Structure 1
Amino acid sequence: MARTKQSVVVGVDGSESSLEAALWAAAEAERLLLPLRVVLVNNDPTRDPFAKEVVRDIGNTCRRAVSDLEVSEEVTNGHPAEELVHRSASARLIVVGSRGQGAFRETLLGSTSAAVATHASSPVVVVPAPGAATSGPVVVGVDDSTGSRKALRYAFDAADRRRSELVAVQALPNAYFIPGPYDHPDRDELVANAKKRLAEQVSAWTESYPEVVVRQIVSNIPPAQVLREAAQHAQLLVVGHRGLGGFPGLLVGSVARGVLHHPPCPVAVVPG
């Protein structure tokens, strides 16, 4: 049996945020040389005719924005997060907006976007509105976890396709930020070890991506804050599903809420 060609799938709901997500997805599909699939998951089948009109309009907008892009539209019924997570098994990338405010406003609210990013088996990009920057670096949060290594590879690839700088950020370990009566590790030693680990992880990919210029940052401020600040003028912020060191449990705690609920730019979540 022939293998189905992968695609970039964007979930829409007719809101401004989902339109921005669709346009970002169209540009990314062009970079990846893949087709774009515009999907609206409608939980009210009686509104299917209107839903089809919404996806058709968004699909046509993407075609006008990116010439020669293969675009298809689909309306399906079910639970939005569950359907998009299911499609992630065969998609190259899932793209969603950070907030939904359109005619199908219950479909892509922030909680749904976070659920898709948490459970998808493919990378997920959450796109904020208004529109994303088309210049600036790609920023990636790095630690010593398997998820982080996959995120770093994804970030190198994204920076290479965009011909942009890559900013690799590592925060100090949790012990530095947790107050208590016990003695904290020596700060200078923590910084030196973090710089060494970061350099080792980055060097694993520099030979494969010789044209990507990398800037390395070791930070002693909380992870969510340093990532938001580093990505303020970025094209893309990349994080892993789970982290160790300075980025623990990225999708279950305050770091995820801080980055995904208030994204300074599109955020790519790469599964481990």
Structure 2
Amino acid sequence: MPEQPVLAGVDGSEGSVKAAYWAAAEASRRNAGLQLLIVNDDPARADHAEQAVRKIAAKCRVHTPEVVVTAEVATGHPVEELVRRSARAQLVVLGARGHGGFADALLGGVSTGVATHAACPVIVVRKNIPTTVGPVVVGVDESPCSQQALRFAYAAAARLHAELVILQVWHEEGLLAVPLAPGDRDRVQHEIEQALVKQTAPLREQYPQVATREVVQRGHPVSVLTDSARDARLLVVGHRGSGGFDGLFLGSVAAGVLHHATCPVAVVRDAEGTG
């Protein structure tokens, strides 16, 4: 919703500043405001926190003058506060790891915790500068949360004027206890490819301007997703909202993607989920 802001959790580090820039650009694409937030649990650092968040806000206003930027310092636990505020945001953006004045506030565990429990989609931006070329990649299966992720990915690709790569990963361990014979493997591959085309057909019609490529690949989900998204602008995965991950996207897979992907990662919860 346009009246809801993009919320960026920052900590004063260089990595969180890059995440804030990404959030500001995304707010511009969404015609939304940007809310910068530092969660500080040490009263002795209150002045430092205020100075840090104001400095980042000033930089964002220079980079994206069309975006209304607000800045705030809140007290409390970073995960709890960011999750609470996610209910009033259309998107939460976080740095993957902090290395500055409030480095302890946005460590990887905080980003993962917020991505797992937030009421809105969460994007985790790595330290390296995100690419401005390349596709949006979305990992899908046949679960409801996968459909939410797919819709999010189509909308993101449309805003970025990017190609969308829809990737479904499978491996025998998810189907049978023993490896498939080559002929059976080909049959399963073909069946998944046909199901994927059917699954994506309505959104291809809804977003005719988005060039779409569907890929079904056998392998380990973390390695295939991260390899496929190496040069991507965004990697999107789905989340159930109850703390677990549906289908192929078990908690360990999502955590692996968040840890290993070099591009920004969006975690999209199932709208039907609880939390």
Normalising by structure 1, what TM-score?
A: 0.93
Which residue in the other structure is 2:155 paired with? 157
C-alpha root-mean-square deviation of aligned residues, in Å?
1.7
How far residue 130 of structure 1 moved from its aligned partner, in angstroms, is 1.5
How far residue 244 of structure 1 moved from its aligned partner, in angstroms, is 4.6
Which residue in the other structure is 1:106 paired with? 104
Is the Cα contact below 8 Å between 1:176 and 1:184 reproduced in 2? no
Counterpart residue identity of residue 163, structure 2: E
How far residue 46 of structure 1 moved from its aligned partner, in angstroms, is 2.1
Count of aligned positions: 264
Is the Cα contact below 8 Å between 2:2 and 2:30 reproduced in 1? no
Q: 2:180 aligns with which of 177, 181, 184?
A: 184
2:33 & 2:18 partners in 1: Cα distance? Answer: 17
Matched, 1:49 2:47: yes
Matched, 1:175 2:176: no
How far residue 174 of structure 1 moved from its aligned partner, in angstroms, is 5.1
Q: 1:141 aligns with which of 131, 139, 144?
A: 139
Is the Cα contact below 8 Å between 1:13 and 1:107 reproduced in 2? yes
How far residue 90 of structure 1 moved from its aligned partner, in angstroms, is 1.1
**Secondary structure of the structure 1 residue equivalent to 2:106:** coil
Q: 1:1-272 counterparts in 2 under 5 A? A: 5-173=3-171, 175=173, 180=177, 182=178, 184=180, 186-242=184-240, 243-245=245-247, 247-249=248-250, 252-253=251-252, 255-272=253-270
In structure 2, do the counterparts of structure 1 residues 207 and 176 end up closer, same or farther at CA, with 3 Å as the change threshold?
Answer: same
Is the Cα contact below 8 Å between 2:169 and 2:218 reproduced in 1? yes
**Secondary structure of the structure 1 residue equivalent to 2:105:** coil
Normalising by structure 2, what TM-score?
A: 0.92
Is the Cα contact below 8 Å between 1:10 and 1:21 reproduced in 2? yes
Is the Cα contact below 8 Å between 2:171 and 2:220 reproduced in 1? no
Render the CA deviation track for 1:68-89: whole Å, top value 9, x for unaligned.
2100000010000110000111
Contiguous gaps of at least 5 residues in structure 2: 271-275
In structure 2, do the counterparts of structure 1 residues 38 and 174 end up closer, same or farther at CA, with 3 Å as the change threshold?
Answer: farther
How far residue 200 of structure 1 moved from its aligned partner, in angstroms, is 1.2
1:138 & 1:72 partners in 2: Cα distance? Answer: 29
In structure 2, do the counterparts of structure 1 residues 183 and 230 end up closer, same or farther at CA, with 3 Å as the change threshold?
Answer: closer
In structure 2, do the counterparts of structure 1 residues 220 and 149 end up closer, same or farther at CA, with 3 Å as the change threshold?
Answer: same
Is the Cα contact below 8 Å between 1:175 and 1:184 reproduced in 2? no
Following superposition, which runs of at least 4 residues in structure 1 exceed 6 angstroms of deviation?
none
In structure 2, do the counterparts of structure 1 residues 66 and 174 end up closer, same or farther at CA, with 3 Å as the change threshold?
Answer: farther
1:12 & 1:177 partners in 2: Cα distance? Answer: 42
1:146 & 1:257 partners in 2: Cα distance? Answer: 20
How far residue 173 of structure 1 moved from its aligned partner, in angstroms, is 4.8
Render the CA deviation track for 1:110-156: whole Å, top value 9, x for unaligned.
00000000000100000001211111100000110000000000000
Counterpart residue identity of residue 248, structure 1: F
2:16 & 2:50 partners in 1: Cα distance? Answer: 15
